Amino acid sequence: MISEQLPALQVVVPLIAAAFCLVLARPLGAWLITFAASAASMAVSFLMLNTVMDSGVIDYTFGGWAAPFGIAYRVDLVNAYVLMIVSTISTVVSVFARASVTSEIETHNQGFFYTAWLLCLTGLLGITITGDAFNLFVFLEISSLSSYALIAMGADRRALTAAYQYLIMGTIGATFILIGVGLLYALTGTLNMLDLAQRLPDVANTRTARTGFAFLTVGLGLKIALFPLHLWLPNAYAYAPSAVSAFLAATATKVAVYVLLRFVFSVFGVEFALGAMPLALGLAILGSVAVLSASTIAIFQQNLKRMLAYSSVAQIGYLALGVSLATPAGLTATLLHLFNHALMKGALFVALGCIAWRIGSSRLQDFAGLGYRMPWTMGAFVVGGLSLIGIPLTAGFISKWHLILAALEKGWWPITVVIIAGSLLAVIYVWQVVERAYLAKPPAETSRAEAPASMLIPAWLLAIANLYFGLHTDLSVGIASRAAASLFGVVP
């Protein structure tokens, strides 16, 4: 039965497609393969999400080798949800990528570009689906290496430096994770996450376990781009090709946050990770600083891709704040924001890509009159911006609302102040763009010149999703709260 093989297909389909891409190396064919593989993974992820919602956790063993010896995949509500986010974003953004890549990347490199894209997708999906700590590291490297390549293909020469820095920092992060996993292996003799979770409590009070935990958290902090380990991110997102910025901003850090959640809640257990260890306090402080500081920096940025990148750092702050509350409500808010942030940043970066395609710039000063030259694109941008601020009736409002409720429930009202201050700062940096695009005097020659439909449709799909999930919260809040409950071990 094919439905039993879904977990394997989730990773294998994009992996094999990547190989085809490399062999084919023709732009159009490679793009078609990328789109088809993304769409297929999306279908698989929705099927799995459906199965998990109905009948609980899916366990899958490769080649029939049982868990401690072979590699086991384990799909529960949490990673089914993240798989759905990653594969959906990849599908939507790949539609946009065709025109964007054609204009930004030389023809002979486009085949490699799509190959790297599919490998990156494979890595991200693999990290999410695997139940094996070492396998996770392998997929992490696959996704990281391919994303360095993707970023380095940016048209700006600074893309090379940015990719190089990301490579150094990403490798350090991955190494830390590997060291952490290695220490745990030395301590427990297993790499399977379920086994780790069973054996760790007995040895939790050893220095080895604590050192392993420290390496894991700092390594993951790097991959998440938690303040002050975010320094690689702004340049990487700013100088990458537009499609890559949209894809990575909406997925890469989300997957890293998922890994943190997996280790904190499923492997180490919430009592150890957030109770015995002062991780919650650290996340609360660094998250608050990230929200305030990165939002302030975003205000002064002239390059909008950099502005959105700093805004992403701030959003990661919100995610960290949700985890630091260590309550099901806080975790619900984090999971919800994971999804909603993917929607809003996806919409914003895609819209920015449309603008870059048309005017060849993403600098604020070139935006004058853009509201009239590219009304549809700027419309999508404004919707994404409103969602980023957290205006009611947009998705961004829902996650901030839940985060505030969770903070109040816990009695941490300073967190509430930070969240509201962050939203106000977001108003400033989003408004700058609106003001420039709609109110500033446009340059002399202005005629309507929109981006092609293949770019506009993904932008508006994401923008409409922002509005849809701002009104119909049953789906997103329902899954997020069930997933949070399952991480806390309340239900299934």
Partner 1 sequence: MMIEFPPFAFFYLAALAAAVLPRVPRQALMLAVPVASCAALLQLPSDLLVSMSILDLQLEPLRVDRLSRLFGILFHIGAFIGIVFSLHSRDRTQHVAALAYAGSALGAVFAGDLLTLFVFWELLAVSSVFLIFASRTERSFGAGMRYLVIQVISGVLLLAGALILYGQSGSLRFEHIGLTGAGSMLIFIAFGIKCAFPLLHNWLTDAYPEATPTGTVFLSAFTTKVAVYALARGFAGTEVLVYIGAVMTCFPIFYAVIENDLRRVLAYSMINQIGFMVVGIGLGTALAINGAIAHAFNDVIFKGLLMMSMGAVLHMTGRINGSDLGGLYKSMPVTTTFCIVGAASISAFPLFSGFVSKSMVMVAVLEEGHPVVWLALLFASAGVFHHAGIKIPFFAFFAHDSGIRTQEAPTNMLIAMGIAAALCIGIGVWPWVLYDLLPFAVDYTPFDGSHILAQIQLLVFSAAAFAWLKVAGIYPPELHSTNIDVEWLYRRLAPRWVQQTTAASRRAVDATSRAGEGLGRNLMRLVLHHYGPDGTLARAWPTGSMVLWVAVLLGASLVLYYL
Which spans of this chain sit near partner 1 (rule: CB under 8 A)?
Answer: 164-165, 168-169, 172-173, 176, 207, 210-211, 213-215, 217-218, 221-222, 228-229, 231-232, 234-235, 277-278, 282, 293, 296-297, 299-302, 310, 375, 398, 401, 471, 473
Distance between CA atoms of residues 287 and 316, nearest Å: 7
What's the min distance (Å) between Cβ of 355 and partner 1?
19
- The token pair that represents 423 in the structure block: 């939203």
Residues in the chain: 492
Q: Which is nearer to partner 1, 81 or 176 (CB)?
A: 176
What's the min distance (Å) between Cβ of 253 and partner 1?
16
Q: Which is nearer to partner 1, 13 or 456 (CB)?
A: 456
What's the min distance (Å) between Cβ of 218 and partner 1?
5
Distance between CA atoms of residues 479 and 386, nearest Å: 24
What's the min distance (Å) between Cβ of 297 and partner 1?
4
Q: Which is nearer to partner 1, 108 or 207 (CB)?
A: 207
- The token pair that represents 240 in the structure block: 């990458």
What's the min distance (Å) between Cβ of 184 and partner 1?
14
Bridge partners, residue 72, by sequence = 61
Distance between CA atoms of residues 30 and 16, nearest Å: 12
Q: Which is nearer to partner 1, 401 or 488 (CB)?
A: 401
What is the 3-state secondary structure of 146-158?
Answer: HHHHHHHCCCCCH
DSSP state of 206: S
Taking CA atoms, 109 is separated from 21, 102, 467, in Å, by 12, 10, 37
Q: Which is nearer to partner 1, 131 or 212 (CB)?
A: 212
- Separation of CA 62 from chain center: 27
* Region of residue 404 (phi > 0: left; psi between -120 and 50: alpha; otherwise: beta): alpha
Terminal CA-CA length for the chain: 25
What's the min distance (Å) between Cβ of 278 and partner 1?
5
Q: Which is nearer to partner 1, 33 or 267 (CB)?
A: 267
Identify the residue whose tokens are 């150890």. Answer: 272
Distance between CA atoms of residues 465 and 461, nearest Å: 6
What's the min distance (Å) between Cβ of 186 and partner 1?
17
